Amino acid sequence: MNEFFDINRFFKLVRKEYSERLPVILKIAVIFSLLLIGFWVSVIVFNGSEVSAQARVLYIYAATFLSMLMAPFNLYKSYNHPKKGIDYIVLPASAMEKFLSMLLNSVIVLPLATFLGVLLADTLIATVNPSLFEGFAIAKLGTLGVVAEKYGEAVIIQLGFIFGNFLFIKNKVFKTLMSAAGLYILFAMVIMLLLTTVFKSDFEALQNMNTSIKVESISELGNITGSEGLTSLLKGFYYSVVVIFYVICPVAFLGGTFYKMKTQQY
Protein backbone atom coordinates (compact mmCIF):
# COMPACT_ATOMS: atom_id res chain seq x y z
CA MET A 1 0.00 0.00 0.00
CA ASN A 2 1.27 3.46 -0.88
CA GLU A 3 2.09 5.16 2.40
CA PHE A 4 2.26 8.64 0.81
CA PHE A 5 -0.97 8.82 -1.18
CA ASP A 6 -3.62 6.27 -2.13
CA ILE A 7 -6.59 7.56 -4.13
CA ASN A 8 -9.12 5.11 -2.68
CA ARG A 9 -7.99 5.78 0.86
CA PHE A 10 -8.12 9.51 0.18
CA PHE A 11 -11.71 9.41 -1.07
CA LYS A 12 -12.76 7.39 1.98
CA LEU A 13 -11.21 10.05 4.21
CA VAL A 14 -12.93 12.83 2.24
CA ARG A 15 -16.33 11.14 2.63
CA LYS A 16 -15.78 10.63 6.34
CA GLU A 17 -14.63 14.20 6.94
CA TYR A 18 -17.38 15.65 4.78
CA SER A 19 -20.10 13.79 6.68
CA GLU A 20 -18.65 14.84 10.04
CA ARG A 21 -18.01 18.48 9.18
CA LEU A 22 -21.05 19.15 6.99
CA PRO A 23 -23.19 20.36 9.95
CA VAL A 24 -20.53 22.93 10.89
CA ILE A 25 -20.15 24.04 7.27
CA LEU A 26 -23.90 24.48 6.87
CA LYS A 27 -24.19 26.28 10.21
CA ILE A 28 -21.62 28.88 9.21
CA ALA A 29 -23.25 29.37 5.80
CA VAL A 30 -26.68 29.75 7.43
CA ILE A 31 -25.37 32.24 10.01
CA PHE A 32 -24.00 34.59 7.35
CA SER A 33 -27.20 34.19 5.31
CA LEU A 34 -29.35 34.99 8.35
CA LEU A 35 -27.26 38.09 9.03
CA LEU A 36 -28.23 39.39 5.60
CA ILE A 37 -31.88 38.52 6.21
CA GLY A 38 -31.69 40.22 9.60
CA PHE A 39 -30.31 43.33 7.95
CA TRP A 40 -33.19 43.28 5.47
CA VAL A 41 -35.72 43.01 8.29
CA SER A 42 -34.08 45.90 10.16
CA VAL A 43 -34.32 48.05 7.02
CA ILE A 44 -38.05 47.32 6.88
CA VAL A 45 -38.61 47.97 10.59
CA PHE A 46 -36.69 51.25 10.65
CA ASN A 47 -37.94 52.43 7.24
CA GLY A 48 -34.47 52.53 5.77
CA SER A 49 -33.61 53.41 2.20
CA GLU A 50 -33.00 50.88 -0.54
CA VAL A 51 -29.74 48.94 -0.50
CA SER A 52 -27.89 48.77 -3.80
CA ALA A 53 -26.75 45.48 -5.29
CA GLN A 54 -23.16 46.71 -5.27
CA ALA A 55 -23.25 47.27 -1.51
CA ARG A 56 -24.62 43.76 -0.99
CA VAL A 57 -21.84 42.34 -3.16
CA LEU A 58 -19.35 43.77 -0.67
CA TYR A 59 -21.15 41.89 2.11
CA ILE A 60 -21.09 38.65 0.10
CA TYR A 61 -17.35 38.95 -0.42
CA ALA A 62 -16.77 39.92 3.21
CA ALA A 63 -18.89 37.02 4.50
CA THR A 64 -17.03 34.55 2.30
CA PHE A 65 -13.67 35.92 3.40
CA LEU A 66 -14.60 35.74 7.10
CA SER A 67 -15.82 32.17 6.67
CA MET A 68 -12.45 31.31 5.14
CA LEU A 69 -10.60 32.72 8.14
CA MET A 70 -12.96 30.87 10.51
CA ALA A 71 -12.68 27.57 8.63
CA PRO A 72 -9.52 26.08 10.20
CA PHE A 73 -10.55 27.02 13.75
CA ASN A 74 -14.03 25.56 13.34
CA LEU A 75 -13.24 22.47 11.29
CA TYR A 76 -9.78 21.44 12.57
CA LYS A 77 -9.30 23.15 15.90
CA SER A 78 -8.66 19.84 17.72
CA TYR A 79 -6.08 18.36 15.34
CA ASN A 80 -3.09 19.20 17.55
CA HIS A 81 -4.96 18.95 20.85
CA PRO A 82 -3.07 16.65 23.29
CA LYS A 83 -6.16 14.47 23.81
CA LYS A 84 -8.86 15.31 21.26
CA GLY A 85 -6.42 15.13 18.35
CA ILE A 86 -5.55 11.48 18.91
CA ASP A 87 -8.74 10.27 17.21
CA TYR A 88 -7.78 12.12 14.05
CA ILE A 89 -4.13 11.18 14.01
CA VAL A 90 -4.91 7.43 14.17
CA LEU A 91 -7.16 7.52 11.10
CA PRO A 92 -5.95 5.09 8.40
CA ALA A 93 -4.69 7.81 6.08
CA SER A 94 -1.34 9.38 5.32
CA ALA A 95 -0.34 12.90 6.32
CA MET A 96 -0.64 14.00 2.68
CA GLU A 97 -4.17 12.65 2.41
CA LYS A 98 -5.22 14.41 5.60
CA PHE A 99 -3.51 17.58 4.41
CA LEU A 100 -5.35 17.59 1.06
CA SER A 101 -8.68 16.71 2.67
CA MET A 102 -8.23 19.57 5.15
CA LEU A 103 -7.51 22.00 2.31
CA LEU A 104 -10.52 20.75 0.36
CA ASN A 105 -12.91 21.44 3.25
CA SER A 106 -11.31 24.69 4.40
CA VAL A 107 -10.36 26.34 1.13
CA ILE A 108 -13.15 25.15 -1.18
CA VAL A 109 -16.18 23.55 0.47
CA LEU A 110 -16.84 25.98 3.35
CA PRO A 111 -16.19 29.21 1.36
CA LEU A 112 -18.30 27.92 -1.54
CA ALA A 113 -21.18 26.97 0.77
CA THR A 114 -21.07 30.41 2.41
CA PHE A 115 -20.82 32.24 -0.90
CA LEU A 116 -23.73 30.35 -2.46
CA GLY A 117 -25.83 30.52 0.72
CA VAL A 118 -25.55 34.30 1.07
CA LEU A 119 -26.02 34.79 -2.68
CA LEU A 120 -29.17 32.68 -2.58
CA ALA A 121 -30.52 34.67 0.38
CA ASP A 122 -29.83 37.91 -1.45
CA THR A 123 -31.56 36.67 -4.61
CA LEU A 124 -34.66 35.60 -2.66
CA ILE A 125 -34.88 38.93 -0.83
CA ALA A 126 -34.37 40.93 -4.02
CA THR A 127 -37.13 38.90 -5.67
CA VAL A 128 -39.57 39.33 -2.77
CA ASN A 129 -38.76 42.98 -1.98
CA PRO A 130 -37.13 44.70 -4.97
CA SER A 131 -38.04 48.13 -3.62
CA LEU A 132 -35.51 47.73 -0.80
CA PHE A 133 -32.99 45.34 -2.34
CA GLU A 134 -32.46 46.99 -5.70
CA GLY A 135 -31.27 44.65 -8.41
CA PHE A 136 -29.54 41.30 -7.94
CA ALA A 137 -26.11 41.05 -6.37
CA ILE A 138 -25.23 38.16 -8.67
CA ALA A 139 -25.28 40.62 -11.58
CA LYS A 140 -22.73 42.86 -9.84
CA LEU A 141 -20.19 40.26 -8.77
CA GLY A 142 -17.92 41.10 -11.68
CA THR A 143 -16.33 38.88 -14.27
CA LEU A 144 -15.11 35.39 -13.51
CA GLY A 145 -11.57 36.73 -13.61
CA VAL A 146 -12.32 39.37 -10.97
CA VAL A 147 -13.99 36.81 -8.69
CA ALA A 148 -11.08 34.38 -9.15
CA GLU A 149 -8.55 37.11 -8.37
CA LYS A 150 -10.31 38.13 -5.15
CA TYR A 151 -10.66 34.49 -4.15
CA GLY A 152 -7.00 33.77 -4.85
CA GLU A 153 -5.82 36.65 -2.67
CA ALA A 154 -8.21 35.58 0.08
CA VAL A 155 -6.84 32.03 -0.07
CA ILE A 156 -3.28 33.26 0.47
CA ILE A 157 -4.35 35.07 3.64
CA GLN A 158 -6.40 32.06 4.72
CA LEU A 159 -3.38 29.77 4.36
CA GLY A 160 -1.64 31.88 6.99
CA PHE A 161 -4.58 31.33 9.37
CA ILE A 162 -4.56 27.60 8.61
CA PHE A 163 -0.87 27.50 9.51
CA GLY A 164 -1.61 29.41 12.73
CA ASN A 165 -4.28 26.86 13.65
CA PHE A 166 -1.74 24.03 13.39
CA LEU A 167 1.14 25.99 14.86
CA PHE A 168 -0.53 27.05 18.09
CA ILE A 169 -2.15 24.68 20.57
CA LYS A 170 -3.90 27.10 22.94
CA ASN A 171 -5.57 30.45 22.23
CA LYS A 172 -5.24 29.72 18.52
CA VAL A 173 -7.41 32.55 17.23
CA PHE A 174 -5.86 35.22 19.44
CA LYS A 175 -2.26 34.15 18.74
CA THR A 176 -2.92 33.87 15.01
CA LEU A 177 -4.52 37.32 14.86
CA MET A 178 -1.68 38.84 16.86
CA SER A 179 0.89 37.14 14.63
CA ALA A 180 -0.90 38.38 11.51
CA ALA A 181 -1.07 41.92 12.92
CA GLY A 182 2.62 41.79 13.85
CA LEU A 183 3.64 40.60 10.38
CA TYR A 184 1.48 43.27 8.76
CA ILE A 185 2.99 46.05 10.90
CA LEU A 186 6.52 44.78 10.25
CA PHE A 187 5.88 44.55 6.53
CA ALA A 188 4.31 48.03 6.44
CA MET A 189 7.25 49.51 8.36
CA VAL A 190 9.76 47.96 5.95
CA ILE A 191 7.78 49.23 2.96
CA MET A 192 7.55 52.75 4.38
CA LEU A 193 11.25 52.77 5.22
CA LEU A 194 12.16 51.76 1.69
CA LEU A 195 9.76 54.23 0.09
CA THR A 196 11.04 57.14 2.17
CA THR A 197 14.74 56.33 1.81
CA VAL A 198 15.80 54.04 -1.02
CA PHE A 199 13.02 55.11 -3.43
CA LYS A 200 12.58 58.68 -2.20
CA SER A 201 13.86 60.21 -5.44
CA ASP A 202 11.47 58.09 -7.51
CA PHE A 203 8.42 59.34 -5.68
CA GLU A 204 9.65 62.90 -5.82
CA ALA A 205 9.93 62.43 -9.58
CA LEU A 206 6.29 61.24 -9.70
CA GLN A 207 5.17 64.73 -8.75
CA ASN A 208 6.58 66.03 -12.04
CA MET A 209 5.13 63.22 -14.15
CA ASN A 210 1.70 62.69 -15.69
CA THR A 211 1.01 59.76 -13.41
CA SER A 212 -2.19 58.07 -12.28
CA ILE A 213 -2.31 55.22 -9.80
CA LYS A 214 -5.30 52.98 -9.21
CA VAL A 215 -4.94 50.26 -6.60
CA GLU A 216 -7.90 48.09 -5.62
CA SER A 217 -5.97 44.90 -4.96
CA ILE A 218 -2.38 43.79 -4.54
CA SER A 219 -2.18 42.66 -8.14
CA GLU A 220 -2.97 46.23 -9.27
CA LEU A 221 0.00 47.80 -7.52
CA GLY A 222 1.67 47.82 -10.89
CA ASN A 223 -1.14 49.79 -12.54
CA ILE A 224 0.95 52.93 -12.87
CA THR A 225 0.34 54.96 -16.00
CA GLY A 226 3.16 57.20 -17.14
CA SER A 227 5.77 55.38 -15.07
CA GLU A 228 8.38 55.18 -17.81
CA GLY A 229 10.66 57.47 -15.80
CA LEU A 230 10.74 55.27 -12.75
CA THR A 231 13.99 53.45 -12.05
CA SER A 232 14.35 49.75 -12.65
CA LEU A 233 15.13 49.43 -8.93
CA LEU A 234 11.64 50.61 -7.96
CA LYS A 235 10.02 48.34 -10.53
CA GLY A 236 12.12 45.48 -9.22
CA PHE A 237 10.89 46.31 -5.73
CA TYR A 238 7.29 46.03 -6.92
CA TYR A 239 7.87 42.64 -8.51
CA SER A 240 9.66 41.48 -5.36
CA VAL A 241 6.58 42.35 -3.30
CA VAL A 242 4.39 40.44 -5.75
CA VAL A 243 6.64 37.37 -5.59
CA ILE A 244 6.68 37.47 -1.79
CA PHE A 245 2.89 37.65 -1.52
CA TYR A 246 1.87 35.37 -4.37
CA VAL A 247 4.64 32.78 -4.20
CA ILE A 248 6.76 32.77 -1.05
CA CYS A 249 3.94 33.30 1.47
CA PRO A 250 1.58 30.55 0.21
CA VAL A 251 4.44 28.09 -0.26
CA ALA A 252 5.74 28.82 3.26
CA PHE A 253 2.26 28.51 4.82
CA LEU A 254 1.49 25.28 2.98
CA GLY A 255 4.90 23.81 3.76
CA GLY A 256 4.67 24.79 7.42
CA THR A 257 1.17 23.34 7.78
CA PHE A 258 2.11 20.05 6.14
CA TYR A 259 5.24 19.79 8.29
CA LYS A 260 3.19 20.34 11.46
CA MET A 261 0.64 17.72 10.40
CA LYS A 262 3.33 15.20 9.50
CA THR A 263 5.40 15.65 12.67
CA GLN A 264 2.55 16.16 15.16
CA GLN A 265 3.21 14.25 18.38
CA TYR A 266 0.94 13.71 21.39
Q: What pLDDT score does 225 carry?
A: 44
Q: Are 130 and 169 members of one domain?
A: no
Q: Are 64 and 162 members of one domain?
A: no
Q: Are 187 and 96 members of one domain?
A: no
Report the percentage of the chain scoring pLDDT > 90: 53
Q: What pLDDT score does 2 carry?
A: 61
Q: Are 109 and 216 members of one domain?
A: no
Note whether 102 and 76 are within 8 A (CB): yes
Q: What pLDDT score does 231 carry?
A: 55
Q: What pLDDT score does 226 carry?
A: 46
Q: What pLDDT score does 11 carry?
A: 92
The pTM score is 0.84
CB neighbours of residue 212 within 10 Å: 10
Per-residue pLDDT band for 243 (boundaries 50, 70, 90) equals confident
Mean pLDDT, residues 26-43 taken together? 94
Judged by DSSP in three states, 162 sits in helix
Q: Are 118 and 2 members of one domain?
A: yes
Residue 193 lies in a domain: yes
Task: From residue 163, give the alpha-carbon distance in Å to each of 72, 102, 131, 263.
Answer: 9, 12, 44, 14
Of 112, 141, 170, the position where a domain reaches its end is: 141
Provide the residue range defining the domain that includes 239. 152-266
Q: What is the pLDDT of residues 73-116, one digit of tens each?
A: 999 988 887 777 777 777 888 889 999 999 999 999 999 999 99
CB within 8 Å of 227: residues ≥ 6 apart: 209, 211, 235
Residue 226, sorted as left (phi over 0), alpha (psi -120 to 50) or beta, turns out to be: left
Residue 63 lies in a domain: yes
Which of 23-37, 70-84, 194-208 has the weakest average pLDDT?
Answer: 194-208
Residue 143 reports pLDDT greater than 80? yes
Q: What pLDDT score does 179 carry?
A: 93
Per-residue pLDDT band for 233 (boundaries 50, 70, 90) equals low
Mean pLDDT, residues 211-227 taken together? 48
Give the start-end residues of each E strand in the chain: 212-213, 224-225
